[in-house]
Amino acid sequence: MRWNNFEFLNPEFLWLLVLIPLLAIWYFFMRKKDNATLTIPSTKGFEVAPSILSKLKPILATLRLAAITLLIIALARPRIVEVSSHTKTNKGIDIVMAIDVSASMLARDLKPNRLEALKTVANDFVNQRPNDRIGIVVYAGESFTKTPITSDKRIVRNTLSEIKWGDLDGGTAIGMGLGSAVNRLKESKAKSKVIILLTDGVNNTGFVDPKTATELAVGLGIKVYTIGIGTNGTASFPYAKDPKSGQLLFRNSPVEIDEDLLKYIAKETEGKYFRATDNTKLKAIYEEINKLERTEIEEFKYYNYEENYRLLVILAGLFILIEVLLRNTVFKSFI
């Protein structure tokens, strides 16, 4: 029996089972009254070996108690419930993550560096959005789409793992990064369109003005969440490569983030600006965005009930029938 799906529709009737031991006790003390008695001065002349019927007669009470027990359980309506569900997404969200991959994203104020910290957190974010489509845009001195908007989270996760510094020219073209993300969403039919724009610097190159890209986002009803990543004060930045080993050389430099621009973009598009100064705060930011942008899902459940009380009633009737037959045949003339 599938006990994990088993239930009683009217479990309150099971309280009647308390009467069963009381009835058993009552039958035990009343059993002598069921036999005929004859009062005589002495029974020596009537002594005979005990009849097997006298030992079997309690079976009548047992059958009756069993029938009552089964009827009580049947009243409680035992049944097996099979539940199937179907989910329907009523409000899909298309999300584009615009990620800064300039050299400054290798700064070590986040561990192991800003870019790797972001990739870890972004991967967790993707895993928490099973019903949404996600795309990825990367930018530095220029921008391009790494992954168009897709519902295949495996592709998105693979793309995140492959992001690295050095694929694009130097600089930070925030306007181009935002513009490319907007372009990815312009044909979207989703109820809600969102861009998560992350950078650790200031707009210092590119032919698209960030404010122009913001106006395009507003016109298309796209909400932009902006994230400035980097500690307050100074951080260890790469500044050159060792000519012998080819390894990056680092030195402490001031952290410069154009927070005014990021706040402007977020405000104009009805989004929100965040500042991630360490790994913990970066993770918390993506968790907050995940909560702010929830996909509405309607779940339909279908229940199939398999009633089991009929068999109990049949068995109870069978026990009563056997008792009546035995009482009126085998035990009818028993003294």
- Can you list the domains of the chain with their CATH numbers? 3-35+50-83+305-327 (no CATH), 93-294 (3.40.50.410)
pLDDT band at 1 (very low <50, low <70, confident <90, very high): very low
Torsion angle of the four alpha carbons 167, 172, 173, 177, in this order, in degrees rounded to the nearest 10:
60
CA nearest neighbour of 109 among 288, 281, 225, 259: 281
Q: What is the pLDDT of residue 103?
A: 92
pLDDT band at 150 (very low <50, low <70, confident <90, very high): very high
- Cα separation, 131 vs 170, in Å, equals 35
- Look at residue 160 and tell me whether its pLDDT is greater than 60: yes
Which is it for the CA torsion 263, 171, 229, 285, positive or negative?
Answer: positive
Report how far Cα 178 is from the mean position of its chain's Cα atoms: 33
The answer to whether the CB of 258 falls within 8 A of the CB of 204 is no
Report how far Cα 122 is from the mean position of its chain's Cα atoms: 19
The answer to whether the CB of 103 falls within 8 A of the CB of 63 is no
Q: What is the pLDDT of residue 8?
A: 85
- Predicted TM-score (pTM) of the model is 0.64
- Cα separation, 213 vs 224, in Å, equals 11
The answer to whether the CB of 137 falls within 8 A of the CB of 98 is yes
Maximum mean pLDDT: which of 2-16, 249-263, 315-329: 249-263
- Cα separation, 282 vs 284, in Å, equals 5
Q: What is the pLDDT of residue 168?
A: 82
The answer to whether the CB of 129 falls within 8 A of the CB of 290 is yes
Residue predicted with more confidence, 28 or 20:
20
Is omega for the bond preceding 112 within 30 degrees of 0, making it cis? yes
Maximum mean pLDDT: which of 41-50, 216-225, 233-242, 288-297: 216-225
Q: What is the pLDDT of residue 335?
A: 46
DSSP symbol at 257: -
Q: What is the pLDDT of residue 333?
A: 61
Q: Is 174 helix (H, G, I), strand (E, B) or coil?
A: helix
- Cα separation, 334 vs 163, in Å, equals 94
CA nearest neighbour of 251 among 240, 264, 262, 265: 240
Strand 222-229 to strand 234-241: parallel, antiparallel, or no bridges (unpaired)? unpaired
- Cα separation, 210 vs 175, in Å, equals 4
Token pair recorded at residue 182: 């907007």
Residues 6+ apart with CB under 8 A from 240: 248, 249
CA nearest neighbour of 289 among 155, 170, 194: 194
- Look at residue 162 and tell me whether its pLDDT is greater than 70: yes
